[in-house]
C-alpha cells in the first residue's frame, strides 16, 4: 500500500468509530452500552403442547423487545436412529416396572406415545425435524427498569408454561445473538417437528391502525387506535351481534356520524326511533311510517334505470313475490303461479313491460293488484285478494297502497317504523329496504345502509333472502350494508344469516348472553379467553373483526358525540334538563335586554 495513503487513512475516523458507543460494560447478569442496559434471556423449557400464535403475547409486549429465532434443519436419518434408541429405552423402563409390579410412570408413558407418533410421521415424510433457538434481549434506561421488565417477560412466558432463563456470564454473546447478524453464539436449542415449529410463526398483529379511515375505538390490548376504512376491504358490509344494552347502537351511531364527516351518505332503517336525535342534530331527514304518517312508499316502484343484462321488471316482480309471502304467509305452487300472472298483468295495465322505455310510466298500486286478482277466474285468485284486502280496504288501508312521496336526497336519512304495530314491522322494513335498494341503483355514491334489529327480516325466509341478495350485490353499487341484531341464535341458525355473515368483511361482537355464547364461539372460532371477554364485557367493549385480523375494542366518543348518540334514560333526562335551563336563561337575558332603563 502507498505509504502516504496509509498514513492518511490512519488519521481518518471510520464508520465503526462513529457508530460505536462510548463504552461497553459487561456484567455477569446484564450489559451496559452507553446509557442503556440490556439483558438476554433464552428459552430453556417448553410445555408438551403449544397453541398456534403462542408468541403473540411476546411480539405485542408493551415494552420494546429484541427477539431472535434460529432454526436449524436436521438430517432425518440421524433423528430416526435417536428416536428408535429412546423408544427402546422407554419401553424397557416400562417393561421393568410391569415385571416388578410397580406403577408405570405416567410421564414415561406420555413421552413414549409422543415419540412413537413422531416416529410414524417422520417415516411417512409428513414431518421434518429442526432445532429451534429462541432468545430475547430486553433494553431499558435503568437497572431498576430492566429488572422490572425482565420479571414481566418471564411472568408472561411462565403463564404459557415456557421457562425463560438469564444468559448469565454470557451477556455479550447473548446480545450479539439478538442483533441482526444471523450468528447464534449461545446455541441453546430445542428439537421441534414441523407442526410445532409452525406455531412460532412471528408475523402476527393485534393492531388495526390504517393510514386512513374512521376511528372505531381503542385496542384494549395495547391502547393503539383502531382506525379503519371499511370500503378498503373486499366488501364494505358489516355485522354487529350483541345483547340488549351492550352498546351496539352506540357504536353504529358513532360510525355513521364520523363517516358522514367524510362525505359518506347514511341511510338507516330504525325500528325503535333510536336515531332521531342524531338525525336532527346533523340536519338529516327523519321519515316516520305509521297510520297517521304522511310519508308513503309504493312497493311497486321501479328504478327506471336501464342496466345492460338486467331485467328490471323481472327483478321487481321477484322482489314482490318475496314481499307478498311475508304478507300472506306460505303460498302453494299454484298460488305462486296465479300471483305471478297477476303481477305481470297489473304492470301491463299501466303500460309497463320488459321494454325499459315503458318502465318510466307511473307504477301500479297494491289496490291495482287487488282488482286484478278479483277479476281473475280462479277461485284461488279470490283467496289471494282476500289476504291483501285489509291493506287496500280494511284496517291497514293507507299505509302501503299509496304513491311514493319520499325521496333519499338528504345525506343522512332515517326511516322509522316504531309507530307501526309489531306484526307490520317486518312488512314495512321489507318495503323500505326494497325502496332504498331501488333508489341506490339509480345513482352510485359511497353509502352506508344500516338495518337495525335485522332479526325482524330474518324471521321470514323470503325477507332474509332479500337482505342476503343486497349484501351480495352491495359492493357493485359502492354500498356498505350494516346489519345489527341482538337475537344471535335466530340470525345464525338459518342459512341466510350465515351467508350474510360470510359476505361481511367486518364483524363486531359485543357482550353476549351465556345462552348464546357457545353458538357465537362456534361460528367465530373463539378461544376460551375470548368467550370470557364477551361474557364479562362492559358497555362499549367487544371484539372487532376486520378481514383476517381481530382485536379487543373499547368504543370511545368525545363528550359532544356522546351527547348526540347516548340512549341511556338518565343521561337523556339530564341533557333535556340542561337544554331547558339554557332556553330559560336565554329568555331571561332577552327580557332583561328589552326592559327600558329606570329614570
- What percent of the residues of the chain are helix, what percent strand, and what percent coil, each to the nearest 5? 45, 15, 35
Task: Pick 433 or 489 by higher pLDDT.
Answer: 433
Same domain, 138 and 120: yes
- The predicted pLDDT at position 48 comes to 76
Task: Pick 360 or 468 by higher pLDDT.
Answer: 468
Query: What does the pLDDT look like over 68-120, one tens digit per residue?
Result: 999 998 876 667 777 788 888 888 888 888 888 888 888 888 888 877 877 77
Place of cell 336532527: 280
**Residue 594, pLDDT above cutoff 70:** no
Tell me the mean pLDDT in the region 463-483.
92
- Asked if residue 92 belongs to a domain, the reply is yes
- Asked if residue 546 belongs to a domain, the reply is yes
Question: What is the average pLDDT score of the chain?
Answer: 86
333 and 471 in contact (C-beta within 8 Å)?
no
State the DSSP string of 249-314: HHHHHHHHHHHHHTT-EEEEEETT--SHHHHHHTT-EEEE-STT------TT-------TT--HHH
- Asked if residue 11 belongs to a domain, the reply is no
Position 599 confidence tier, pLDDT thresholds 50, 70, 90: very low
Tell me the mean pLDDT in the region 227-241.
91
Residues across the chain = 599
Task: Pick 52 or 482 by higher pLDDT.
Answer: 482
Task: Pull the grid cell for residue 166.
Answer: 438469564
Q: Residue 526 is part of a domain; what is its CATH number?
A: 3.40.50.300
Same domain, 483 and 542: yes
- Asked if residue 209 belongs to a domain, the reply is yes
Same domain, 347 and 266: no
**Residue 591, pLDDT above cutoff 80:** no
Which domain-ending residue is among 163, 198, 233?
Answer: 198
Range of the domain at 63: 21-198
Query: What does the pLDDT look like over 7-51, one tens digit per residue?
Result: 555 667 777 777 778 888 999 999 999 889 999 999 998 887 777
Position 419 confidence tier, pLDDT thresholds 50, 70, 90: confident
Same domain, 525 and 399: no
Tell me the mean pLDDT in the region 233-256.
91
- Asked if residue 429 belongs to a domain, the reply is yes
**Residue 485, pLDDT above cutoff 50:** yes
Same domain, 89 and 194: yes
Same domain, 186 and 272: no
- Asked if residue 7 belongs to a domain, the reply is no
| 3-state DSSP assignment of residue 507 | strand
Highest mean pLDDT among 48-52, 200-204, 228-232: 228-232
**Residue 530, pLDDT above cutoff 70:** yes
Same domain, 247 and 117: no
CA distance 533 to 527: 10
Query: What does the pLDDT look like over 515-527, one tens digit per residue?
Result: 888 888 888 888 7
Same domain, 367 and 233: no
Place of cell 428439537: 191
Same domain, 237 and 247: yes
Same domain, 461 and 355: no
Tell me the mean pLDDT in the region 369-375.
91
Which domain-ending residue is among 343, 370, 403?
Answer: 403
Which domain-ending residue is among 177, 198, 219?
Answer: 198
- Asked if residue 548 belongs to a domain, the reply is yes
Tell me the mean pLDDT in the region 457-473.
89
Same domain, 173 and 119: yes
Q: Residue 327 is part of a domain; what is its CATH number?
A: 1.10.8.730
Query: What does the pLDDT look like over 281-308, one tens digit per residue?
Result: 999 999 998 888 888 888 998 876 666 6
432 and 269 in contact (C-beta within 8 Å)?
yes
Same domain, 41 and 161: yes
CA distance 363 to 296: 14
Highest mean pLDDT among 66-80, 264-278, 389-403: 264-278
Q: Which of 297, 307, 311, 304 is nearest to 360 (CA)?
A: 304
413 and 284 in contact (C-beta within 8 Å)?
yes
- The predicted pLDDT at position 135 comes to 96
- The predicted pLDDT at position 165 comes to 94
**Residue 215, pLDDT above cutoff 80:** yes
Q: Which of 39, 72, 47, 73 is nearest to 187 (CA)?
A: 72
**Residue 405, pLDDT above cutoff 50:** yes
Domain count, the chain: 4
Highest mean pLDDT among 145-149, 227-231, 354-358: 145-149
Tell me the mean pLDDT in the region 134-160.
94
- Asked if residue 596 belongs to a domain, the reply is no
Amino acid at each position: 500500500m502507498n505509504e502516504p495513503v496509509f498514513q492518511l487513512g490512519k488519521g481518518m475516523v471510520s464508520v465503526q468509530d462513529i457508530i460505536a458507543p462510548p463504552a461497553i460494560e459487561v456484567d455477569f447478569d446484564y450489559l451496559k452500552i452507553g446509557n442503556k442496559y440490556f439483558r438476554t434471556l433464552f428459552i430453556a423449557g417448553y410445555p408438551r403442547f403449544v397453541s398456534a400464535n403462542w408468541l403473540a403475547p411476546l411480539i405485542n409486549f408493551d415494552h420494546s423487545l429484541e427477539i431472535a429465532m434460529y432454526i436449524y434443519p436436521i438430517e432425518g436419518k440421524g433423528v430416526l436412529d435417536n428416536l428408535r434408541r429412546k423408544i427402546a429405552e422407554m419401553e424397557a423402563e416400562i417393561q421393568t416396572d410391569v415385571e416388578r409390579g410397580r406403577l408405570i410412570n405416567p410421564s414415561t408413558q406420555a413421552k413414549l406415545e409422543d415419540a412413537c407418533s413422531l416416529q410414524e410421521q417422520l417415516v411417512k415424510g409428513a414431518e421434518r425435524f429442526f432445532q429451534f433457538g429462541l432468545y430475547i434481549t430486553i433494553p431499558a434506561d435503568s437497572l431498576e427498569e430492566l429488572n422490572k421488565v425482565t420479571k414481566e417477560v418471564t411472568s408472561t412466558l411462565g403463564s404459557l408454561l415456557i421457562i425463560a432463563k438469564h444468559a448469565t456470564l454470557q451477556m455479550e454473546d447473548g446480545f450479539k445473538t439478538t442483533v441482526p447478524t444471523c450468528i447464534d453464539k449461545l446455541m441453546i436449542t430445542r428439537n421441534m417437528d414441523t407442526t410445532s415449529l409452525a406455531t412460532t410463526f412471528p408475523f402476527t398483529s393485534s393492531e388495526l391502525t390504517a393510514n386512513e379511515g374512521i376511528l372505531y375505538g381503542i385496542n384494549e390490548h395495547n391502547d393503539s387506535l383502531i382506525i379503519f376504512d371499511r370500503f378498503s376491504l373486499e366488501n364494505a358490509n358489516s355485522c354487529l351481534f350483541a345483547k340488549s344494552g351492550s352498546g351496539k347502537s352506540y357504536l353504529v351511531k358513532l360510525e355513521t356520524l364520523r363517516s358522514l364527516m367524510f362525505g359518506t351518505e347514511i341511510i338507516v332503517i330504525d325500528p325503535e326511533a333510536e336515531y332521531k336525535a342524531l338525525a336532527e342534530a346533523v340536519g338529516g331527514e327523519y321519515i316516520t311510517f305509521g297510520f297517521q304518517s304522511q310519508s308513503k312508499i309504493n312497493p311497486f316502484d321501479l328504478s327506471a334505470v336501464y342496466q345492460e343484462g338486467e331485467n328490471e321488471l323481472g327483478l321487481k316482480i321477484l322482489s314482490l313475490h318475496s314481499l307478498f309471502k311475508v304478507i300472506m304467509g306460505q303460498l302453494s305452487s299454484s298460488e305462486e303461479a296465479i300471483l305471478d300472472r297477476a303481477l305481470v298483468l297489473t304492470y301491463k295495465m299501466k303500460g309497463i313491460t320488459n321494454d325499459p322505455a315503458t318502465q318510466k310510466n307511473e307504477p301500479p298500486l297494491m289496490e291495482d293488484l287487488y282488482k286484478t286478482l278479483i277479476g281473475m277466474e280462479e277461485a284461488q285468485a279470490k283467496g289471494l285478494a282476500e289476504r291483501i284486502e285489509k291493506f287496500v280496504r280494511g284496517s291497514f288501508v293507507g299505509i302501503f297502497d299509496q304513491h311514493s312521496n319520499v325521496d333519499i336526497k338528504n345525506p343522512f336519512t332515517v326511516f322509522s317504523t316504531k309507530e307501526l304495530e309489531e306484526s307490520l314491522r317486518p312488512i314495512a322494513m321489507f318495503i323500505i329496504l326494497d325502496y332504498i335498494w331501488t333508489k341506490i341503483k339509480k345513482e352510485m355514491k359511497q353509502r352506508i345502509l344500516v338495518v337495525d334489529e335485522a332479526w325482524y327480516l330474518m324471521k321470514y325466509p323470503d325477507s332474509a333472502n332479500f337482505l342476503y341478495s343486497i349484501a351480495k350485490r352491495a359492493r357493485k353499487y359502492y354500498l356498505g350494508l350494516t346489519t345489527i341484531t341482538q337475537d344471535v341464535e335466530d340470525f345464525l341458525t338459518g342459512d341466510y344469516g350465515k351467508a350474510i355473515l360470510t359476505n361481511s368483511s367486518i364483524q363486531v361482537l359485543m357482550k353476549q348472553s351465556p345462552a348464546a355464547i357457545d353458538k357465537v364461539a362456534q361460528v367465530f372460532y373463539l378461544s376460551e379467553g375470548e368467550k370470557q371477554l364477551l361474557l364479562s364485557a362492559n358497555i362499549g367493549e367487544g371484539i372487532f373483526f376486520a378481514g383476517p385480523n381481530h382485536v379487543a375494542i373499547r368504543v370511545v366518543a368525545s363528550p359532544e358525540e356522546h351527547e348526540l348518540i347516548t340512549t341511556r334514560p338518565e343521561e337523556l333526562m339530564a341533557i333535556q334538563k340542561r337544554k331547558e335551563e339554557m332556553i330559560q336563561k336565554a329568555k331571561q337575558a332577552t327580557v332583561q335586554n328589552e326592559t327600558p332603563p329606570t329614570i
